[in-house]
């Protein structure tokens, strides 16, 4: 029986959907993938009623292999895609140097999800609470803008990246914590948190179409999406 | 030659109301005491303020921050962490994550370490397989996972304290205790007794030292010299606002009644603050006096007679802001009150060690 994977989230769904098209179908024989992308932060306008994710009629969405509403219990995995992750927190100007114990708690309780957009945070948290074992959070990549030195000593910075990766890896294979997939290191530049410039060329929008605005460097290309999906399949195998 | 007889009034005749107990205290509104505090210098939007001290100091820094002052915070909690947890991990309490600094000796020790004058050993304590920074054991309440993690985090902390010292224009310091647990061999001092939050008590290694007036005064002067050196790039000398914590001792380590120890401790600290106040760059804010004013018609403390009531803290800060006008409020508008998390007081733990 095929494993059913549902990808929901913002415009970063686009590169995943396009990347999926590029994957050799023999790799996907055991999987059935569905996608639902919503531009910007309009995702929170959806409502979770029981295990049904009801679409808000006013929001333009880009669906693939989906009906008008989503019954979350029907899926083996629900993959939430947003442009935030525990790793991305390091770019914040107030980020300090945190202990392993604090990071574990911070990651496990999804405190890092809290942004100015509380509504979006609440909806993602509700989905996680409903289906904790099936929930996977996929932090969308950060574009390469990182030149400012924020740290007194690079060793502290490297230490934090390695601690966050280690904690996320452990929780992914552990039933007691949330599954958070961080972008593989080979897709990131020397900063360890920003995506390689090569992943931006030919970026894709939420609808899976090529991004024609050259100034829009916030999205990734199909090669990136393909690499992420393959990494995900490897993890849940 | 015959002297012309002059008339001199007696020295009390022309004094103002504040000089007399009846008019200054008995007939005065304890929530709005006139002429109790006159600032020595201004705090404006360009003044970088640092705060440190005993747990009562946490109130002062929070109130200053919420009333528009530039309060330094060099070690911030990760975004999204709940308020209660921020305090539990030693964030949002002071200008860096040093936890409570109860004694002047502890403050001096930190400055020496930052200034490279002290490279302490034996500051890692163990408890239940976890490791603690003995100079600030409560900031990581579950402990660190390894000794190397304690060392790395102390290094990071010291870099931030150095940056704080270099940046600050004014340090608000609340003196809390004279009794300090000290290592007999190297004279290192700790904010909590070994064996309470972490570590193990051994009387041949640790002793309780009850600091005296001259020692505390000399320690504070040495501290300001180190600060001057660290801040030599700044054109002006650092200013200080001293307060004495009104919170009584939870327990005394001396063989005497806790009431005697508590009054002794506060009296000595108050006397030191009074002496230091004679310097132009040192101000004294009388939070201790406002809380312990016998004219108050209600207890300033909660039922445990230690924790200062929120309304009392508001009263203290009202007096402060009468002189240092809140920066983000229009004239004649009241200062912003705080809905705050209870301060973290390590010494409150001692209550749990009493044999009933």
User: In this complex, how many residue pairs, one in chain A and one in chain B, have their CB atoms less than 8 Å apart?
Assistant: 60
Judged by CB atoms closer than 8 Å, whether chains meet at A102 and B78 is answered as yes
Judged by CB atoms closer than 8 Å, whether chains meet at A96 and B79 is answered as no
Q: Which residue has the tokens 């660290």?
A: B230
Q: How far is B283 from chain A (nearest CA, A)?
A: 31
Contact status of B137 with chain A (Cβ, < 8 Å) = no
CA nearest B73 in A: which residue?
Answer: A94
The closest CB to that of B81, out of A101, A111, A159, belongs to: A111
Alpha helix (H) ranges present in chain A? 13-22, 100-108, 118-130, 154-172, 222-236
Judged by CB atoms closer than 8 Å, whether chains meet at A112 and B149 is answered as no
CA nearest A114 in B: which residue?
Answer: B80
Q: How far is A98 from chain B (nearest CA, A)?
A: 8
CA distance B200 to B198: 7
Mutation target vs A (from B72, B79, B127; most A CBs, 10 A cutoff)? B79
Residue extents of the structural domains in chain B = 44-344
Mutation target vs B (from A111, A118, A159; most B CBs, 10 A cutoff)? A111
Judged by CB atoms closer than 8 Å, whether chains meet at A97 and B156 is answered as yes
User: Which two structure tokens, joined as six digits, stand for B165?
Assistant: 């010292």
What three-state secondary structure class fits B232? Answer: coil
The DSSP symbol for B71 reads: E
Contact status of A151 with chain B (Cβ, < 8 Å) = no
CA distance B11 to B22: 17
Mean pLDDT of successive 10-residue stretches along chain B, which has 356 residues: 75 94 97 96 95 91 92 94 92 95 98 97 94 96 96 96 97 97 96 94 96 98 97 92 96 96 98 98 98 95 94 96 83 57 64 57
CA distance A131 to A133: 6
| Parts of chain A with a pLDDT under 50 | 146, 148
Q: How far is A201 from chain B (nearest CA, A)?
A: 31
Instruction: Report pLDDT for B356.
Output: 42
Instruction: Report pLDDT for B162.
Output: 97
Instruction: Report pLDDT for A214.
Output: 66
Judged by CB atoms closer than 8 Å, whether chains meet at B145 and A100 is answered as yes
CA nearest A153 in B: which residue?
Answer: B156
List the beta bridge partners of residue A8: A36, A80
Alpha helix (H) ranges present in B147-286? 147-167, 213-230, 258-276
- Sequential DSSP letters for B78-127: PTT--HHHHHHTT-SSSSSS-----SHHHHHHHHHHHTTS----S-EEEE
Secondary element (H or E) of residue B57: helix B57-66
Among candidate residues A31, A37, A76, A87, the one with its CA nearest the CA of residue A233:
A31
Judged by CB atoms closer than 8 Å, whether chains meet at B79 and A102 is answered as no
Mutation target vs A (from B74, B75, B76, B80; most A CBs, 10 A cutoff)? B80
Instruction: Report pLDDT for B2.
Output: 57
The answer to whether residues B78 and A89 touch, using CB atoms and an 8 Å cutoff, is yes
Q: Which residue has the tokens 């004239």?
A: B331
Contacts of A97 in chain B (CB under 8 A): 75, 152-153, 156
CA distance B272 to B220: 9
Q: Which residue has the tokens 């993602």?
A: A124
Sorted by sequence, the CB contacts under 8 Å of residue A113 that are 6+ apart come out as: A84, A121, A124, A125, A137, B80
Contact status of B76 with chain A (Cβ, < 8 Å) = yes
Selected residues 208-247 of chain B with any CB under 8 Å from a CB in chain A:
none
User: Which two structure tokens, joined as six digits, stand for A115?
Assistant: 């942004």
The closest CB to that of A114, out of B79, B145, B156, belongs to: B79
Contact status of B80 with chain A (Cβ, < 8 Å) = yes
What three-state secondary structure class fits A17? Answer: helix
Instruction: Report pLDDT for B6.
Output: 82
Contact status of A149 with chain B (Cβ, < 8 Å) = no
The closest CB to that of B76, out of A94, A99, A114, belongs to: A94
The closest CB to that of A94, out of B79, B143, B152, belongs to: B79
Instruction: Report pLDDT for B341.
Output: 58
Q: In this prediction, does ipTM exceed 0.90?
A: no
Instruction: Report pLDDT for A24.
Output: 95
CA nearest A94 in B: which residue?
Answer: B76
CA nearest B143 in A: which residue?
Answer: A101
Judged by CB atoms closer than 8 Å, whether chains meet at B159 and A112 is answered as no
Contact status of B129 with chain A (Cβ, < 8 Å) = no
Judged by CB atoms closer than 8 Å, whether chains meet at A96 and B142 is answered as no
Judged by CB atoms closer than 8 Å, whether chains meet at A97 and B142 is answered as no
Contact status of A100 with chain B (Cβ, < 8 Å) = yes
CA distance B108 to B217: 11
């Amino acid at each position: 029986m095929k494993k059913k994977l549902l990808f929901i989230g913002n415009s970063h769904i686009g590169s995943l959907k396009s990347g999926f098209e590029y994957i050799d179908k023999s790799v996907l024989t055991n999987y059935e993938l569905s996608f639902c992308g919503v531009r910007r932060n309009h995702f929170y306008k959806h409502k979770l009623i029981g295990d049904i994710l009801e679409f808000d009629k006013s929001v333009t969405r880009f669906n693939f292999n989906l009906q008008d509403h989503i019954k979350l219990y029907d899926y083996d995995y629900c993959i939430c895609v947003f442009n935030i992750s525990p790793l991305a927190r390091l770019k914040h100007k107030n980020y300090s140097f945190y202990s392993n114990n604090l990071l574990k708690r911070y990651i496990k309780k999804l405190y890092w999800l809290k942004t100015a957009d509380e509504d979006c945070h609440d909806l993602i948290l509700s989905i996680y609470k409903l289906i904790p074992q099936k929930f996977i959070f996929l932090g969308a990549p950060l574009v390469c803008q990182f030149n400012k030195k924020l740290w007194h000593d690079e060793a502290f910075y490297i230490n934090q990246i390695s601690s966050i990766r280690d904690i996320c890896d452990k929780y992914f294979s552990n039933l007691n914590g949330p599954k958070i997939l961080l972008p593989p290191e080979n897709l990131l530049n020397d900063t360890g948190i920003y995506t390689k410039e090569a992943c931006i060329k030919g970026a894709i929008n939420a609808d899976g179409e090529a991004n024609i605005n050259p100034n829009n460097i916030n999205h990734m290309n199909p090669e990136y999406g393909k690499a992420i999906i393959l990494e995900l399949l490897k993890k849940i195998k | 030659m015959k002297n012309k007889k002059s008339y001199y009034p007696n020295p009390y005749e022309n004094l103002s109301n504040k000089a007399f107990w009846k008019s200054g205290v008995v007939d005065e509104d304890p929530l709005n005491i006139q002429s109790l505090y006159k600032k020595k210098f201004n705090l404006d939007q360009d003044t970088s303020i640092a705060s440190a001290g005993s747990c009562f100091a946490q109130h002062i820094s929070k109130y200053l921050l919420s009333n528009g002052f530039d309060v330094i915070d060099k070690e911030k909690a990760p975004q999204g962490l709940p308020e209660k947890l921020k305090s539990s991990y030693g964030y949002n309490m002071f200008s860096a994550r040093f936890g409570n600094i109860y004694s002047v000796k502890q403050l001096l020790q930190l400055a020496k370490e930052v200034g490279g004058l002290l490279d302490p050993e034996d500051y890692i304590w163990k408890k239940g397989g976890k490791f603690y920074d003995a100079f600030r054991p409560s900031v990581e309440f579950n402990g660190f996972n390894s000794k190397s993690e304690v060392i790395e985090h102390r290094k990071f902390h010291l870099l931030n304290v150095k940056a704080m010292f270099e940046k600050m224009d004014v340090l608000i310091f609340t003196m809390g205790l004279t009794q300090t647990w000290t290592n007999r061999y190297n004279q290192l001092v700790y904010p909590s007794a070994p064996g309470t939050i972490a570590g193990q008590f051994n009387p041949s290694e640790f002793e309780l030292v009850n600091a005296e007036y001259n020692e505390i005064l000399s320690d504070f002067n040495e501290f300001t010299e180190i600060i001057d050196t660290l801040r030599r790039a700044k054109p002006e000398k650092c200013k200080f606002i001293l307060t004495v914590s009104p919170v009584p001792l939870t327990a005394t380590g001396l063989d005497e009644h806790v009431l005697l120890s508590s009054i002794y401790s506060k009296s000595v600290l108050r006397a030191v603050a009074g002496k230091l106040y004679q310097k132009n760059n040192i101000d004294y804010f009388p939070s201790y006096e406002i809380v312990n004013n016998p004219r108050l018609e209600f207890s300033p403390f909660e039922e445990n007679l230690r924790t200062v009531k929120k309304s009392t803290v508001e009263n203290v800060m009202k007096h402060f802001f009468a002189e240092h006008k809140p920066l983000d409020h229009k004239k004649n508008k009241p200062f912003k009150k705080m809905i705050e998390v209870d301060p973290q007081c390590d010494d409150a733990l001692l209550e749990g060690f009493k044999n009933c």
